[in-house]
Chains A and B, each alone.
Chain A
């Protein structure tokens, strides 16, 4: 990474290839966590390996936070790994967001700093349907 490469909004967003989320997986019990660890909350072991998170999943819970610009917060089940995320590219209302909805990882620009360096955030969006991808 050079000083001009985009920088991830959080350190568990890996932008080195196709964007993906990465957990710290305990080498003893397999429990997965986001962010810097001291030890494992499940078994107290202290060694971890990075493990990528599946890019697709389904919404296992959500809320829509009101305000000037309402936003959808969801818990996304990505093959057994729970991810907290904002859901974008969808109307922020209960007619357009629902439990079990299939979603996929996406990224967005979180702005540029004074040096002109761009920050990239992650979010989830409704999964592109099979019909659309086949076109």
Chain B
């Protein structure tokens, strides 16, 4: 097995509304704090990877350097849907694994407050006679004419599909998954929303796409997260007070969606997540039974359910039983999304994939404050970006 790579610095900003800050302010805040956390300076960093989706062509990494340190190192600006942040971290890790760098910094940042339902670029105006367009020669918009493409609807169908395959899903079940994450969020001061909802409040809120009501959807918000990663060899030279808080990256995996029948009709977010989890467990030499906590990509309540199964936190088809057992509550057998998840913590897309790893880092360091999972030694962080990309990282406490 190759030498491990270590997280030696980690930070995330408060997620929420930051009208007074631009994306570079947010990225700089997280980056400088992560550097301070690792007792490193920009001059120590060999490679920088920066994830941002909404300004993917704006060289955000170089803009960040111009505010916090232009040292001439290679910069990789990455965009990979909701897996953008995890992809940035993966790039920094790969650079170290390839022997091209000893110390890397990964940053994810996004500003989404007030953007409402996210969709692609607006369609160019059409003339007054029919004109077939695109891959299927559509004469007009497909939304509403050929089902739906909006995210709450797509992920609603993904959750309902699980019910068709295995039975037992219901509006009430999905609402209770959301109830759990909102309850967890009350202990996370960095979450965008820290309000505990009753089950009735969740079910009676505005319906977005059945069965997802508004609180069952991830919140658009602003935020950034940053992480400093280091080779095993370089870590040997760290002062003990820095090395002591280092967290081992036991596995870092990124997958895309392999072809499965129907996957171009309804995205198959299951197979690539299962593939990523399998590869990660094998690389780490541990299994799901060894995990002390999991942060998974609950972009909608309907998504959380299927990932219990995809990450093999339960037997195939047993996700509903897993939830009903109370396991994923913070006092359960395998706490899931103790940060509040994307539904409460918020989902500033580029930052999300690093922020969920930051949550695991906090627990493994014993620095998660009121929401600390006592004795946590191993954690898994998962993100998925539709299109699709899946990142799975397994972290272990330094032994």
A residues within 8 Å of B by Cβ?
Answer: 7-12, 31-36, 41-42, 59-66, 71, 73-75, 80-86, 94, 99-100, 110, 113-115, 117, 119, 121-122
Contacts and interface: CB of A to CB of B under 8 A. Distances in A.
B145 A110 contact: yes
Given A31-B261, A65-B209, A94-B171, A60 B164 contact: yes
A84 B147 contact: yes
B140 A110 contact: yes
Nearest to B212: A63
Interface stretch (B91-99, B126-134, B237-245): B126-134
Nearest to A74: B147
Interface in B129-168: 129-130, 132, 134-140, 142, 144-148, 150, 152-153, 156-158, 160-161, 163-164
A72 B323 CA distance: 28
Contacts of B209: 63-66
A75 B138 contact: no
Contacts of A59: 164
Contacts of A41: 259, 264
Nearest to A99: B164
B130 A7 contact: yes
B147 A114 contact: no
B210 A82 contact: no
B160 A99 contact: yes
Contact of A121 (B145, B171, B212): B145
B160 A9 contact: no
A117 B161 contact: no
B21 interface: no
Given A10-B146, A63-B148, A100-B164, A119 B139 contact: yes
B136 A10 contact: yes
Nearest to B165: A60
Interface residues of B, number: 41
Contact of A75 (B130, B163, B266): B266
A35 B136 contact: yes
A67 to B, nearest CB: 8
B20 to A, nearest CB: 33
A34 B264 contact: yes
Interface of B: 128-130, 132, 134-140, 142, 144-148, 150, 152-153, 156-158, 160-161, 163-164, 171, 206-212, 259, 261-262, 264-266
9 contacts: A12-B136, A36-B136, A61-B161, A62-B157, A66-B210, A73-B157, A85-B146, A99-B163, A117-B130
A63 B160 contact: yes
B136 A34 contact: yes
A9 B126 CA distance: 14
Contacts of B212: 63
Contact of B153 (A11, A73, A100): A73
Nearest to A69: B144
B320 to A, nearest CB: 14
A11 B150 CA distance: 22
Nearest to A38: B135
Contacts of A121: 145-146
Given A31-B261, A41-B264, A86 B146 contact: yes
B395 to A, nearest CB: 34
Q: 9 closest A-B pairs (Cβ-Cβ)?
A: A82-B262, A11-B137, A73-B147, A63-B156, A114-B128, A73-B148, A61-B161, A64-B210, A35-B136
Given A7-B130, A75-B157, A110-B140, A66 B164 contact: no
A11 B136 contact: yes
Nearest to A43: B259
Contact of A65 (B140, B144, B146): B144
Nearest to A32: B261
A65 B154 CA distance: 10
Contacts of A60: 161, 164
Contacts of B142: 10
A88 B212 CA distance: 21
Residue with the greatest number of chain B CB neighbours at <10 A, chosen from A8, A10, A60, A94: A10
Given A61-B164, A63-B209, A36 B135 contact: yes
A60 to B, nearest CB: 5
Nearest to B155: A63
B255 to A, nearest CB: 16
Contacts of A81: 262
A75 B207 contact: no
A75 B161 contact: yes
A82 B265 contact: yes
A36 B137 CA distance: 8
A9 B145 contact: yes
A62 B160 contact: yes
Contacts of A35: 134-137
A65 B144 CA distance: 8
Contact of A63 (B136, B138, B157): B157
